[in-house]
């Protein structure tokens, strides 16, 4: 059932930010009704690798959700949404600001009938400000939020992380905001509110001390490749067998243990290196020493030495490493599911782990409009009315 089993959520939107937000709610029991266009539905259904015409990403992104089709540009379609919203707890939407209002489905419209409604609004630039009407994707948010500028190597153009990080981070803030707004509603008079999440702000919030360092010192953080300037030693190193190891030995006592373990007692006991501020001044020297040691040993030997010295380290996992890793399996992070033809396949487990009310996968992403009949019937539409709506192209 999950801790959110009594929460009803309407999802209006598509692709990543809104649907990932509702996926997390659905994983912990919320009833999520996903509203899709009758004309093909969410484009994510056809994104990346397909199996028998269905996106494998879709099966994951829409797990535990109900799919109904509604043409939101029609008056009858908009009325169905208003009826659904009357007893909903949360509406999540990621259209460009103003779109919901154009359809008569803005917060003022929906909360008039349901004052306790919480609306989570995810957009590139937020609901206010000079950029509110511009289209915004996660990639643009990563650029505006400062992440792209510091990602990559200093002698090359900025690069992207290999996933839609901006969308995912905004989704997490959407979930947090929804839960906080529900908590406030249930504790302070029953009124809902709007949770306004701008993708660029979600990214900017991750940027650590970027802003105060610039404001106080005029320092602009730049790309630094695999190292972490100002925190030393911490980086990625190449081993003798051509593999990569990430080492974080920037704690004072950890640094001493590591230097001793790799045979560099001179560095372990150098008073100038006892604290991070001193090590940061000699970061290149430390990287060179660690890099030389790693280059002389195979990955497994490097990891064995560092594990014995209790130094945080690890190889860089590809997906094959993940699938075969015992810790992933022990933590339930590799779930087994079945495709429509019964073929077994693996999907990621649920995060976070709750001891008493854990989340889980009840079903995979549904077919387009799979639940239209049942949801409309529960709203009071009879079979003839539903058929009429289908004939008119409303659903």
> Is residue 230 scored above 90 in pLDDT?
no
pLDDT of the residue at 356: 96
pLDDT of the residue at 228: 83
Q: What are the structural domains of the chain?
A: 8-205+333-391 (3.40.50.10540), 234-315 (3.30.1540.10)
pLDDT of the residue at 226: 86
Q: In the annotation, is 167 catalytic?
A: yes
pLDDT of the residue at 227: 83
Instruction: Give the pLDDT confidence of 7-31 residue by residue, as tens digits.
Output: 999 999 999 999 999 999 999 999 9
pLDDT of the residue at 31: 98
Catalytic residue, candidates 42, 89, 167, 196 = 167
Mean pLDDT of 315-324: 96
pLDDT of the residue at 1: 79
Instruction: Give the pLDDT confidence of 145-179 residue by residue, as tens digits.
Output: 999 999 999 999 999 999 999 999 999 999 999 99
Q: Determine contact, residues 159/87, Cβ cutoff 8 Å.
A: no
């Amino acid at each position: 059932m999950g801790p959110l089993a009594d929460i009803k959520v309407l999802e209006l939107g598509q692709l990543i930010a809104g649907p990932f937000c509702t996926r997390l709610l659905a994983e912990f029991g919320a009833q999520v009704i996903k509203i899709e266009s009758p004309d093909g539905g969410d484009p994510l259904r056809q994104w990346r690798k397909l199996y028998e015409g269905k996106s494998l990403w879709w099966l994951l992104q829409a797990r535990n959700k109900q799919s109904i089709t509604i043409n939101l540009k029609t008056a009858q379609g908009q009325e169905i949404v208003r009826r659904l919203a009357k007893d909903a707890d949360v509406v999540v939407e990621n259209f460009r600001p103003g779109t919901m209002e154009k359809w008569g489905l803005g917060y003022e419209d929906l909360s008039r009938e349901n004052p306790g409604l919480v609306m989570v609004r995810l957009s590139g630039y937020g609901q206010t400000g000079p950029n509110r009407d511009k289209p915004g994707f996660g990639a643009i948010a990563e650029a505006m939020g400062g992440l792209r500028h510091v990602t990559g190597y200093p002698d090359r153009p900025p690069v992207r992380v290999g996933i839609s990080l901006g969308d995912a981070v905004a989704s997490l803030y959407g979930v947090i905001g929804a839960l906080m707004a529900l908590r406030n509603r249930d504790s302070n008079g029953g009124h809902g509110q709007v949770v306004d999440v701008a993708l660029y702000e979600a990214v900017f919030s991750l940027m650590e001390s970027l802003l105060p360092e610039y404001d106080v010192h005029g320092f602009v953080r730049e790309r630094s490749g695999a190292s972490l300037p100002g925190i030393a030693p911490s980086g990625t190193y190449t081993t003798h067998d051509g593999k990569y190891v990430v080492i974080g030995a920037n704690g004072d006592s950890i640094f001493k243990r590591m230097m001793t373990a790799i045979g560099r007692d001179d560095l372990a006991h150098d008073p100038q290196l006892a604290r991070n501020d001193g090590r940061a001044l000699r970061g290149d020297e430390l990287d060179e020493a660690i890099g030389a040691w790693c280059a002389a040993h195979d990955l497994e030997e490097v990891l064995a030495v560092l594990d014995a010295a209790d130094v945080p380290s690890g190889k860089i996992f590809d997906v094959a490493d993940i699938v075969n890793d015992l810790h992933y399996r022990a933590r339930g992070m590799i779930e087994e599911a079945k495709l429509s033809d019964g073929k077994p396949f693996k999907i990621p487990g649920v995060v976070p782990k709750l001891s008493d009310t854990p989340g889980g996968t009840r079903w995979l992403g549904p077919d387009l409009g799979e639940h239209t009949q049942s949801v409309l019937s529960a709203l009071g539409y009879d079979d003839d009315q539903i058929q009429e709506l289908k004939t008119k192209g409303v659903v």
